Structure 1
């Protein structure tokens, strides 16, 4: 989540509200993917992000 927050912060032209929404979604996905408080196995989060981009595409399209 910290990396996403930095990347979103570096992008120009993204409204603050949209950036906060994207970062919050990322944090929720990450927190929901933790297994016993540890990061998930490699590749576990990507399908969730891919699904989110399909279901809530407007959030992710705000970054492009």
Structure 2
């Protein structure tokens, strides 16, 4: 399961880790919606490939 998800229009990526409740907004001079969506998926894929600790894992380290 992917932790980072892209909103359908590609304007937002959100983290499914509810301890952080974080989202990233995608803004820019994209030529069209399809390019923005492609860009958002590339970012989400990179985040999903990284080993980013969850909020629970960080709390356990304290």
Establish whether TM, by shorter chain, passes 0.5: no
TM-score by length of 1: 0.39
Compare the two structures and name the one with the higher strand fraction: 2
Normalised by the size of structure 2, how large is the TM-score?
A: 0.40
